[in-house]
Amino acid sequence: MLNTPIRIQAFLANVPLFRELGSDELDRIALNTQQLHAAKGEILFRRGDPALGFYIVVFGQVKLAFSSPRGDEKVVDLSGPGQSFGEAVMFMERPHVVTAQALSDSMLLYVGRETVFEELEREPQFARRMIAGLSIRLHGLMSDLENDSLHSGTQRIIGYLLRDSEDNPESKGALEVTLSATKGVIASRLSLTQESFSRILHGLSVRGLIEVRGRSIYIPDVAKLRACSD
């Protein structure tokens, strides 16, 4: 764990949550922000641990998941560079409801609860940014629930593969997607078993819609794959 306020401030200035803050506000937050290094597989917190702050990923990837007493796991979210997690339970002053684990060697920033509360009292604009960020997260969770409830496994996987092309739904041509985590983790994120995930990928491959190359998925015709989902 290291404290490097100047480097931290430079990163925070580009995080959507803090982008509109002035240099004085950023200085105060950076001064009380900790820099954490987490090795692959390291647990940042477990379900039931007190939520005394929130995290921002600088690089790497963090898995947020529930685990049943039998050891079954449901991946709730995957957080990558520039994304934050842990804000909601921090405001509720309740324990964490998920377990956070680094999926790769990662660096994170940890912002303590008291630092956030003090800044909220000073700067109403910061409060609006926090509310907006939490609202976006809630909207994402509702979209995930709708996706899991109303879409088939094939549609969910196609939607995941084409997520980076959503800003241009008319895009055509080829696309190569690198899976950001193992197939088992992504399957859980999509509420599928790993066997179902692999079976659907194989079916799409047999139909010539994708080519599986390890953790890379080559899509020769984006429009054709999107039409299959529709």
Whole-model pTM: value is: 0.77
Least confident range from 8-17, 33-42, 132-141, 181-190: namely 132-141
Question: Can you give the residue ranges of every domain in the chain?
Answer: 5-150, 153-229
Say if residue 96's pLDDT is above 90: yes
| Assigned CATH for 5-150 | 2.60.120.10
Range 129-141 average pLDDT: 74
The tokens describing 39, both together, are 């090795």
Out of 15-29, 109-123, 127-141, 146-160, the most confident range is: 109-123
pLDDT tens-digit map of 13-54: 888 777 777 888 888 888 889 999 999 999 999 999 999 999
Topology of the domain covering 153-229:
Arc Repressor Mutant, subunit A (1.10.10)
Say if residue 200's pLDDT is above 60: yes
Domains 5-150 and 153-229 share a fold: no
Q: What angle do CA 207, 150, 135 make, to 5 degrees?
A: 120
